[in-house]
Amino acid sequence: MTHIYVIVVFVSLHVAGAWASGLTPETVPEWAVWAMVVAPYMVLGVLGALFVSWCTGRLDRRGDARAVLWAHRAFTVSRLLALVWHVLTVFVLGVLGLVRRWTGDLVLVDELLAAVPALALLLWTYRLAHPVEDRVRAAVMMRDLDEGRPVYAFPGSWRYVVSAVRNNLAIMALPLVLILGWAEVLDRIVTATGLAENAGEDSLVVYLAPGAQIAGALVIFALIPPLMVRVWDTVSIPPGELRHELESLARSHGVRVRDFLIWRTGGAMLNGAVIGLTPWLRY
């Protein structure tokens, strides 16, 4: 759900184009349009907080495990409603045009600012999930101790949000924003040089522009692994039996990698990943 959310948020802003000013009449005051943009997100946030408070209270009083399921369903519904509202703010209320009145049509800046309300709601749902997950973690702690499993301290609320952003949001948001930014830069170059006006159907520019976009996207995908291993909380596996076994496994399958890393999520998620298109940028 998070990945789809991020894709819809940024792609809708990127393709807004002629719809950047929306369908709102110019007679409507700017402050009123901003109020219409922000108010539904605030309502969703408050309703979500009230419902999660009820769910955690039910967990504390009755130990009703169904409250966990209800809370997560509420997060999903909140995100879906926020996504629908974001699309409406882009194409009907013209939130991108509102931002550009203050910033101008800058590369990525206006899109990122216009995405703030929708992304803030997403981060708020992460924050609301913290007390629910905290109670679930406490409930299974004794079982983990009895079975000899490692027990990790559960992070505080905002540290939990930061961890969710690093581990869930960034893997889609980072490459997508870079690719959309490259496409916008390329479009500016073509427009500034006048190539778009002089390009005929048989012009080389017609084929070079899409080729440059694809080439740029491939370069971005190639460079994402070294960026992501820094966004994620990772450290290199030190020399020892584990690293030796991993290196032997990679050699036996003919897979070359730059390094083997430990992805430290504090026991919050089961994880394992192989990322990288080329051996010297593969982890």
DSSP characters for 38-94? HHHHHHHHHHHHHHHHHHHHHHHHH--THHHHHHHHHHHHHHHHHHHHHHHHHHTS-
- Helices 2-14/170-192 angle, 10° precision: 10
Give the per-residue pLDDT at 200: 53
Q: Specify the amino acid at residue 209.
A: A
Q: What share of the chain is helix, strand, coil (3-state, %, to 5)?
A: 75, 0, 25
Give the per-residue pLDDT at 205: 60
> pTM of the full predicted structure?
0.84
Give the per-residue pLDDT at 270: 61
Cβ neighbours for 101, distance < 8 A, ≥ 6 positions apart: 30
Give the per-residue pLDDT at 18: 64
Q: Specify the amino acid at residue 165.
A: V
Q: How far apart are CA 172 and CA 158, in angstroms?
A: 21
The answer to whether the beta carbons of residues 118 and 41 sit under 8 Å apart is yes
pLDDT in tens, 74-84: 999 999 999 99
pLDDT in tens, 22-49: 777 777 788 888 888 899 999 999 999 9
H or E stretch including 263? strand 261-263
Give the per-residue pLDDT at 14: 85
Give the per-residue pLDDT at 184: 83
Stretches in the chain below the pLDDT threshold 50: 202
